[in-house]
Amino acid sequence: MKALSRLMILMAAVAVALCSVTPAAFGASRLIYSDEFNGPLDTMAWTTALPWGSHHPGVESGELQEYDPANTILANGIMKLVSNNNAQNGYAYTSGIVSSFPRDKFSYGYFELRAKLPEGRGIWPSFWLVADSPTELEIDIMEVLGDHPNRIWQVAHLNHSQTFYHFENIENSPTDFHTYGADWQPTYTKWYIDGVLTGTHNATTPPDPVTICINTAIGGWAGPPSPATVFPVSFDIDYLRVYDKKPKGPLTISPNKTVNYGASTKAGGVLYSSTGTAMPGQPIALFKSYNGSTWTKSADATTSASGTYSFALIKPSRKTYYQTRFDGGLGSLQEFSRRMTVRARPYVSAPKAPKTMRRSRYYTVYGHLKPRHKSGTYPVRIYRYKKTKSGKWKRYGYVKARARNYRSYTKYYKKLKLTSKGRWRLRAYAPADSRHATRWSSKYDYVTVK
């Protein structure tokens, strides 16, 4: 999606020179600065050094890299911050960094980065704001420890203390781009991932001018790389954008959903201009993907008089990703929504067992799942309950069933025994896998043991 300009950039019609921003400059939401990294690196805006001008963080930090300007590479509309295990000037690794110091700084605003993150133990990509002031204000919009690449840390520091920290688990893969944003205002800071609010810190912060910094450290908080860490790795940045405050949209989509197998649902949203005005009569396309990287177009719609749109999602049978796209009719002008995830709960029938069983004798119990699952590997659990003298049901654990595929469903089955006389009941549970959400059978099967 990189080569596609965004709706907001055209409609904001603002200069894209890096500039200082103060609270007095704020009015309606507007774009203050944008770099799409179409290359070469804008050296009037960025330096390839830490915010205090150094190319290495110092031994006390525990970091193992020196920042080499040659490791910041712009190609094909992407800025790559490359980390490698080649020793240089007493450091075991080299890495890439850009910061806006000492060119210009920002006081309050919404800061958003679209990026693909590197992985591996010892790898520490970050997108952060830092003030050169006695308060040592720092807002970490995104930090990741490479051995847990799905865990996004969001942190705030003030007056030499950590005032807020939070982590958000996301679905991630080496091929995924996501947006990471923070809306820093005088009385609050809010963090966003793919346009979804993930953390809020309600506190007054001073308007200390901050430097933007994007980098990959090696070691430090992430620990040293392990022999399994593969080099080189690359922190790929699609764009950086700064607004005076978080804009609406511009293209919203429904929140993530979980639906029952065989049920239909909808994806919908609103198309906004950069001033927050709904846009009627505009073309919206729906795209879907099963792996988050290969997308196919599946439907078209037009926004209503209130700027809304809606698509019917017909009976999703497995985990599916959806995105919508606005095509402004100017060729390259396109705007994508964030990604929406729809998970399907499978249909799970109640276990089928003989109505009467002999104590401690094995019997085959079976049922089925829709849609088909992986044969032989799907661990359906059959839970066992016995009725007590008081009339209550006591659970006696579960056994894992095997699975066998047929044309349109998967059969689960298990030989089990019940070890005491009385009234029993059985219920099936299908845990989540990579394609489906969890699901209990809606009914029990009842057995009398003699």
CA distance 191 to 283: 30
List phi, psi (to 5°) of 222: -80, -10
The DSSP element (H or E) to which 8 belongs, if any, is helix 7-12
Tell me, what's the pLDDT at 8?
Answer: 32
The tokens of 90 are what? Answer: 């007493």
Instruction: Report, as ranges of residue numbers, the positions in the chain whose pLDDT lies below 50.
Output: 1-28, 329-333, 376
Beta-sheet pairing, 320-327 with 340-345: antiparallel
CA distance 274 to 272: 7
CA distances from 271 to 179, 191, 275 (A): 18, 22, 11
Exposure string for 56-92, b = 16+ CB within 10 A, e = fewer: bbeeeeebbbbbbeebbeeeeebbbbbbbbeeeeebe
The DSSP element (H or E) to which 152 belongs, if any, is strand 151-158
pTM reported for the whole predicted model: 0.63
The tokens of 10 are what? Answer: 């055209």
Instruction: Please enumerate in sequence order all residues whose Cβ is within 8 A of that of 227, keeping only pairs 6 or more positions apart, or say none.
Output: none
The class of domain 257-345 in CATH terms is mainly beta
Domain with CATH 2.60.40.10 in the chain: 257-345, 347-449
Tell me, what's the pLDDT at 11?
Answer: 29
Beta bridge partners of 302: 283
Would you call 71 helix, strand, or coil by DSSP? Answer: helix
Domain with CATH 2.60.120.200 in the chain: 7-243
Q: Which fold has domain 347-449?
A: Immunoglobulin-like (2.60.40)
Beta bridge partners of 234: 82
Q: How far apart are the first and last CA of the chain?
A: 66
Nearest to 412 by CA among 434, 382, 432, 442: 382
CA distance 314 to 265: 7
Q: Where are the beta strands (DSSP E) in 274-346?
A: 283-289, 296-302, 308-313, 320-327, 334-336, 340-345
Tell me, what's the pLDDT at 333?
Answer: 42
Q: Which CATH number fits domain 7-243: 3.20.20.70, 3.80.10.10, 3.40.50.720, 2.60.120.200?
A: 2.60.120.200
